[in-house]
Amino acid sequence: MVRSFGLMSLLRQYRKPIAITWGLVLIENILLALIPLMTGRAIDDLLAGGVNTLFVLAGVLVVLTLLMVMRRIYDTRAYGKMRVGMGLDVRDSHIEQLVSIINARLNMARELVDFLEEQIPELITACVQIVIALIVLASFHQWLALSVFSMSVAVFLIYTLFHGKIYRLNSLLNGQSEKQVSLLQSGRKTSLLRHLRLLNKHEISLSDTDAVVYGLIFLVAVAAIIFNLWIATQVMDVTAGSIFSIVSYSWEFVQAVFMLPLALQSLTRLKEISDRLNSNQKEDDLSVGVMYDNV
pLDDT digits (tens, 9 = 90+) for 71-93: 888 888 888 888 888 778 777 77
Residue 56: pLDDT over 50: yes
pLDDT in tens, 260-284: 777 777 777 777 777 777 775 444 4
Q: What pLDDT sits at residue 292? A: 35
User: Which residues neighbour 170 within 8 Å (Cβ) at sequence distance 6 or greater?
Assistant: 206, 268, 269, 272, 273
Q: Domain 7-294 has what CATH class? A: mainly alpha
**What residue segments make up the domains of the chain, in order of their start?**
7-294
pLDDT band at residue 3, thresholds of 50, 70 and 90?
low
Cα 100 from Cα 93, distance rounded (Å): 15
pLDDT for 127 equals: 82
- pLDDT at 294 (0 to 100): 39
Give tens-digit pLDDT for 24-34.
Answer: 888 888 887 77
Kindly give the residue spans of alpha helices, DSSP state H, lying in the chain: 7-13, 15-47, 52-93, 99-114, 120-140, 142-177, 180-186, 189-230, 240-278, 282-289, 291-294
Residues 191-243: tens digit of each pLDDT: 778 878 888 888 888 888 888 888 888 888 888 888 888 888 777 776 666 67
Cα separation of 69 and 200, whole Å?
A: 39
- Is the pLDDT at 174 greater than 80? The verdict is no
Report which of 203, 10, 3, 231 is spatially closest to residue 110, judged by C-alpha positions. 10
Average pLDDT over residues 86-107: 74
Give the whole-angstrom CA distance, residue 54 versus residue 64: 15
C-beta of residue 253 within 8 angstroms of C-beta of residue 133:
yes
Q: What is the C-alpha radius of gyration for the chain, rounded to an integer number of angstroms? A: 24
pLDDT of residue 85: 81
pLDDT band at 258 (very low <50, low <70, confident <90, very high): confident
Q: How many CB atoms lie within 10 A of CB 191?
A: 19
Decide if pLDDT at 157 tops 50.
yes
DSSP 2: P
For residue 102, which of 178, 193, 211 has the smallest C-alpha distance?
A: 178
∠278-282-285 over CA atoms, to 5°? 100
Q: Which residue has the higher pLDDT, 59 or 179?
A: 59
Mean pLDDT, the chain, rounded, equals 78
In this prediction, residue 100 carries a pLDDT of 66
Query: 187's torsion region: left (phi>0), alpha (psi -120 to 50) or beta?
Result: left
